[in-house]
Each structure stands twice: as C-alpha cells, then as structure tokens.
Amino acid sequence: MRFTQIAVQNETKNLRAAIWALSSYGEIYFLVFSEGVWRKQEGPSEHTLTQPIKDPTSGADIIALERNRQIREEGFSPEHDDEHIKGELAAAAECYVAFATDQLAGANPGGGTPLQWPWSAEWWKPSPDPIKNLKRGAALCAAEIDRLKRKG
C-alpha cells in the first residue's frame, strides 16, 4: 500500500502513528492512533471524527481501502464512474457479492463470467477468498452511491 508519508513518533506515555493517506475523493487526511483509538484528522489540524476508527482492519475500513485502491491503481476515478449511468457499478457489485455468497454457502460459484456482469469478461476477477469478493462488491456499491450523490 502506498502512503504519501508515514511518521511514527514517541510521545509521553503513548505511541502515535500518523499516516497520510488518500481518501476516495483524493483528499489528504491524517490518521492518528492514540490511546488505542484511530482518529481521522483533516490535514495537520486537531479535528477528529466523532466516531473514531477502533479497528483499522474492520469491514468498513477494508472496503474504504479497496475503493482507494480502485481509484489509485485501476484509475476508476469519480469522473470515470460518472460515465456508468445505467447501474453498471451496482450490477458489478451484485456479481461479486453473489459469488461470495455462493462461496460462503459451500456452493461452487462456477468459473464463468456472470450473465449480469456489465463489462467484458476480462474485467471479471473473482478471488478464491470470499472476503476479497465482498470487499470488491462493497467498494463498487460505494462507488455507485457516490456517483448517485454527485448526480443529485
């Protein structure tokens, strides 16, 4: 994972880990681990979230990291997502979640591209790990929600 800056410093009685990262909108934010709790700070200011991130490996955090990866590594920016106006992001999300559901149920989800898959087969990349499929689907769902909110 690429971070623009990583800094760790020792303070009086607690270790603060500060990580600069990119949000799904390309904004820079600052995560601070202090007294057993992760908090988000805008830039170098001291404003924190009302709901601190207690487990940086929680489902919500894993989904956010996947969405960031899709933007940074795959180039699926908000502008790119805005081109998909017929529910393609939601359909792709459903395909990954359905695949994971079959995996978790012990069913063989099959090896072919789902009929509902909105793009060419080369973009269908399911994992043998259901968590990876769930995070891909959830990140695609988040992208669709963001697209709809931008649309108004």
* Percent of the chain whose pLDDT exceeds 70: 63
How do residues 72-123 score in pLDDT, each as one tens digit?
889 999 999 999 999 999 999 999 999 999 999 999 887 789 999 999 999 9
Residue recorded with tokens 């063989």: 108
Spatial CA neighbour of 140 closest among 115, 108, 118 = 118
**What gap in Å lies between CA 89 and CA 67, rounded to an integer?**
12
Long-range contacts of 24-31 (CB under 8 A, 24+ apart): 24/64, 24/67, 24/68, 24/71, 24/142, 24/146, 25/78, 26/71, 28/4, 31/56
Average pLDDT over residues 136-140: 96
Mean pLDDT for the chain overall? 75
Output the pLDDT for position 95: 96
